[in-house]
Chain A
Amino acid sequence: MNELTRLSAAEVAGKIADGDVSALEVAQAHLDRIAAVDAQVHAFLHVDTDGALDVAKSVDAKRSAGDQLGPLAGVPLAMKDVVVTRGLPTTAGSRILEGWRPPYDATITRRAKDAGLVMLGKTNMDEFAMGSSTENSAYGPTHNPWDLARIPGGSSGGSSAAVAAFEAPLGIGTDTGGSIRQPAAVTGIVGFKPTYGAVSRYGLIAFSSSLDQAGPFGRTVLDAALLYDVLHGHDPADSTSIPVVRFDTAAAAREGGAADLRGVRVGVVRELGGEGYQPGVLSSFESAVTTLKGLGAEVVEVSCPHFDYALAAYYLIAPSECSSNLARFDAVRYGLRVGDDGTNSLEDVMSLTREAGFGAEVKRRIMIGTYALSSGYYDAYYGQAQKVRTLIVRDFEAAFEQADVLVSPTSPFVAFGIGERVDDPMAMYVNDLCTLPASLAGTPAISVPSGLSDGLPVGLQIMAPTLADDRCFRVGAAFEAAVPALVPPELP
């Protein structure tokens, strides 16, 4: 393996800025790595070799011309395929969008391009971001670099696997109920879900509009922070984008690197642990709490009683919104069309196309959402779930009066075997148990590697109040500095 692929994004950027290495060499090294290992990992759905090399060359040209470069100029990036990229295939892991080349860029695609990031390609995912294993991709599963027989988490499993397998130093994922944090945890990397509204959703193929947020993956907290600083900020094209938000999370991560948490109150959430969690996950979490204490943090236990209902509320709200968001895939303007044989009506063609184009999990969620929004059921299901959501927000507010950050395991489980849970939707849904509350409340949360259980990575989730995104990075970096880095075994 070319050592360039082992470097952190911050190190790569530094070398390019100093002229020690060209962006072109860096891009080529990563493309070579993809060529070498991606047949096994299957992190990418589409590799844009020409596009990546072109961008790398232009970064080098700008540098030669003495132009001011951003802090991540020339650093390779793995982009989740749910993010719209002009002229490049964008499928959201679904058969129904096979071959679609969008005529526009997502706001975060444009931000990444403007920052000089070198997009290597589009990464695999659970279809329309629905899942926790990347097995729901229409294009086959992605494999965890720690154990190729296991899942890389989901739905952003392609990006997490790409970063863990040194195919890219940085990745972009989206998180609706845990789809950045859980894959980060089970592949041993860092993943961050921002405050809802901090990153533009314009150009993210919507799953659940009130929950979806894009965020960064990196192998270090600082790398994730550097990418987050590129991604976040107000976007007038997204009505839910928060005006005038600017964090300096890279500064927060560097500050955290001093590994001093004196004066920081850390709340352990009583409801996120205990029965049903894997013992190795719980013991890793316990030692993480001990580590935080060792860094000077004051640890308190907090109770958030309504977190017990987060899973039920989430699996009503997200499917309801998705049933509406996915109605646009109708075989008229783009994407797949099935059954147009001259005799079928449009209604038949729509139904045949959606039947053929969507996978089982997507169909299940569309039908659950259709049910939950139906008149007569709305109040008992969707309406009730939105009220429970309010109580979860209030639980957070009360907890944040006692603590500056809250911590929990990121997922109750380590990476499980591919195929193990595909036939049991509920067994899949509980992967999100710890990540759902922050999604419902719109609060920021980061997953940082906390150790291994039976040789597989475990993640620590650090949650902060709304708009205290930088706090996640500061505490996360301090914790990271105090635990050994996780390095996956060499791929065969």
Chain B
Amino acid sequence: MTAAYDGVLSRYEPVIGLETHVELGTASKMFCGCSTTFGAEPNTQTCPVCLGLPGALPVANEMAIESTIRIGLALHCDIAPWCRFARKNYFYPDMPKNFQTSQYDEPLCTEGYLDVAVRGETIRVGIERVHLEEDTGKNTHVGTSGRIHGAEYSLVDYNRAGIPLVEIVTKPVPGTGDLAPEVAKAYVTELRDILRTLGVSDVRMEQGSLRCDVNTSLNRPGEAWGTRTETKNVNSLRSVERAVRSEILRQASLLDAGERIVQETRHFSETSGDTRPGRSKEEATDYRYFPEPDLAPIAPDRAWVEQLHMRQPELPADRRVRMRDALGVSAADMVQLTNAGVVDLVGETVRLGAPIGEARNWWLGYLAQQANERGVEASELGIEASHVARLIALVADGSLSVALARQVVDGVLETGSDVDTVVAERGLKRVSDSGALETAADEAIAANPDIAAKVRGGKLPAVGALVGAVMKATRGQADAAAVKDILLQRLGR
């Protein structure tokens, strides 16, 4: 696959674009006072407005407007001095009014950018627009398959209908070559970190509060951009990268065969890792946008925007520069820490007394591996910077070997207890009593006379087997280096 991918990228240049939907974390909905709490009983967070009952009227949520402006500011956008909501008219049963209150040609924020770093390169992703709209309800399809195809009927829950939704649309990003999938992922990652830092959303992709559509096209070098497809249903960071990669491969194989790319909506499948065509619509949709007559225009005055600007928290990019200086790590290390989502965790671990090198190694090494195996972010593992700092201290003073420390991590992850409790409960103290180690060494030599003879005879690497035997006998609680010294000493080497 990698070879095929590299080959494709020698013949075609990809252009990507991303549309990201973010559910804002406001307490109440966009146009009414219903709660936005996730997971409530169906249709318990609804009212005449968000059910689209006859006669009901919307009033815009000030916090949602503020959050959108703050997102725009963080993405270096121009904030429109005057803008409006518009109605996007189409029929769908999860949309109570059969129009979505959105923004059309007058978005709140325009013309921004976001810089992302991939493999040491900084790539500037242009932001076309940031606008505010309302979310839809949720359909459950009932029938044999549980999907829309072949469903016998559907059930609609409007709790989500009307939750404020911000749409962030990039400009097309050309020229990233084989980095395109990683750029896409890095963009969404950076965007997510910004949104989290701003505190405007809980940005949980698995709960759908951050959703991503990925546009991909291919063109031969020097030719005009190709026809793009829009891939929906991309619901994890990893999927963003996979979706772009698989779409590049799919389009390339069509183009290689002399076929044309059809402009269409496709769906990404988490299980197969490829994209499938959505159902084609019977006719091109005409949304018949017009300015929403039930809402007044929004005209953020300069003082308001300036005040929001002053209140912005330190954004991830600025924090990275500061942390890099504070931690004294290289730019490359910083990119690694960022992409793993552990900058703050490393910073905190260092603040609690750990050397930066150790902190970095733990968070990018064993802990990253554990997170990866569990399919979560390092920050969601359930182990805290204080645990890691304590662990590093115990290794440094010789109380734990690295191998033991990893077992302690496993214990913390399993039980949620702190480091010292796990060490005590599991008896994971390092054996440093030299008398006990000497006894164990003698037993190992006695039990393995052939190997002992080899070592005596000068084949020093063979001592590893004896070290292993001693470690096993001490249940891994000995310091391997010390054991080796004792063994060699006793074997006269």
Q: Which residue of B lies closest to A370 (CB)?
A: B288
Q: List 22 A-B contacts (CB under 8 A).
A: A84-B54, A90-B54, A102-B48, A102-B53, A104-B53, A205-B55, A206-B54, A210-B293, A239-B294, A240-B293, A240-B294, A323-B89, A323-B288, A324-B87, A327-B89, A328-B54, A328-B98, A333-B52, A333-B158, A374-B286, A375-B288, A378-B290
Q: How far is the CA of A321 from the CA of B87 in the complex (A)?
A: 10
The interface stretch among A53-61, A147-155, A196-204, A457-465 is A196-204
Contact B53 A324 (CB under 8 A): no
Residue of A nearest to B290 (CB): A373
Are A327 and B91 in touch, CB under 8 angstroms? yes
- A78 at interface, CB cutoff 8 A: no
B446 at the interface (CB under 8 A from A): no
Contact with A along B80-117 (1 / 0, CB 8 A): 00000001010101001111000000000000000000
B53 to chain A, nearest CB (A): 7
B296 at the A interface (CB under 8 A): yes
* Chain A min CB distance to B105 (Å): 11
Judging by beta carbons under 8 Å apart, are B93 and A103 in contact?
no
Asked if residues A320 and B60 are in contact (CB atoms below 8 Å), the reply is no
With an 8 A cutoff between CB atoms, is A315 at the interface?
no
Among A103, A333, A350, chain B packs the most CB atoms within 10 A around the CB of A333
Return chain A residues, CB-CB under 8 Å to B290: 320-321, 324, 373, 378, 382
Whole-angstrom distance from the CB of B92 to the nearest CB of chain A?
Answer: 9
Enumerate chain A residues within 8 angstroms of B142, measured Cβ to Cβ: none
If A210-B293, A324-B99, A332-B156 touch, whether A350 touches B91 (CB-CB below 8 Å) is yes
A residues near B154, Cβ cutoff 8 Å: 346
Q: Would you call B99 and A239 a contact (CB within 8 A)?
A: no
Residues facing B in A56-108 (CB within 8 A) are 83-84, 90, 92, 97, 100, 102-104, 106
The proximity string for B residues 2-20 relative to A, scoring 1 for CB distances below 8 Å and 0 otherwise, is 0000000000000000000
A330 within 8 A of B: yes
Q: B468 near A: Cβ within 8 Å?
A: no
Q: Answer whether residue A238 sits at the interface, using C-beta atoms and an 8 A cutoff.
A: yes
Does B55 contact A209, Cβ atoms closer than 8 Å? no
Given contacts A324-B87, A328-B97, A373-B288, contact A333 B51 (CB under 8 A): yes
B91 touches A205 (CB 8 A): no
Complex Cα spacing A206 to B97, Å: 12
Question: Does A239 lie within 8 Å of B96, measured CB to CB?
Answer: no
Residues on A with beta carbons closer than 8 Å to the beta carbon of B59: 236-239
A201 vs B49: C-alpha distance when bound (angstroms):
13
* CB-defined contacts of A204 to chain B, threshold 8 Å: 55
Is B57 engaged at the interface, CB distance under 8 Å to the other chain?
yes
User: Given known contacts A324-B89, A324-B288, A373-B89, is B54 in contact with A92 (CB within 8 Å)?
Assistant: yes
Q: Mark B364-393, 1 if CB is under 8 A from A, else 0.
A: 000000000000000000000000000000
In angstroms, Cα B286 to Cα A39, docked, is 47
Indicate if B58 sits at the interface (CB-CB under 8 A). yes
Residues of A within 8 A of B (CB): 83-84, 90, 92, 97, 100, 102-104, 106, 201-206, 208-210, 236-240, 320-321, 323-324, 327-330, 332-334, 346-347, 350, 370, 373-375, 378, 382
- List B contacts of A201 (CB < 8 A): 57
Is the CB–CB distance between B99 and A202 below 8 Å? Answer: no
Asked if B40 is at the interface (CB within 8 A of a chain A CB), the reply is no
Residue of A203, A236, A329 with highest tally of chain B CB at under 10 A: A203
Given contacts A102-B55, A373-B89, A375-B286, contact A327 B99 (CB under 8 A): yes
Which residues of chain B are near A100, meaning CB under 8 Å? 54
- Chain B interface size, as a band, is 20 to 34
A376: nearest chain-B partner, CB-CB = B286
- What's the Cα separation between A330 and B12 when bound, in Å? 47
Q: Does B56 contact A (CB under 8 A)?
A: yes
B237 contacts the other chain (Cβ, under 8 Å)? no
Q: Please state if A102 and B54 are interface contacts (CB–CB under 8 Å).
A: yes
Asked whether B57 lies within 8 Å of A239 as measured between CB atoms, the reply is: yes
A333 CA to B52 CA in the complex, in Å?
9
Asked if B93 and A330 sit within 8 Å, CB to CB, the answer is yes
Q: Which residue of A lies closest to B98 (CB)?
A: A327
* A106–B93 CB distance below 8 A: no
List 13 extra interface pairs beyond A206-B55, A370-B288, CB under 8 A.
A84-B55, A103-B53, A202-B57, A237-B57, A239-B57, A324-B288, A324-B290, A328-B52, A328-B97, A333-B158, A347-B91, A373-B89, A382-B290
Can you list the 6 inter-chain pairs with the closest CB atoms, starting with the nearest?
A: A327-B98, A373-B288, A209-B293, A210-B293, A205-B54, A203-B55
Chain B positions 123-178 with a Cβ under 8 Å from a chain A Cβ: 154, 156, 158
> What's the Cα separation between A237 and B58 when bound, in Å?
7
Q: How far is the CA of A202 from the CA of B54 in the complex (A)?
A: 10
B52, A346: Cβ atoms under 8 Å?
no
Chain B stretch 384-413: residues in CB contact (< 8 A) with chain A = none
Separation of A239 and B65 alpha carbons in the complex (Å):
15
A434 and B98 CA atoms in complex are apart in Å by: 34
Point out the residues of chain A lying under 8 angstroms from B48, CB to CB: 102-104
Cα-based distance from A324 to B87 in the complex (angstroms): 8
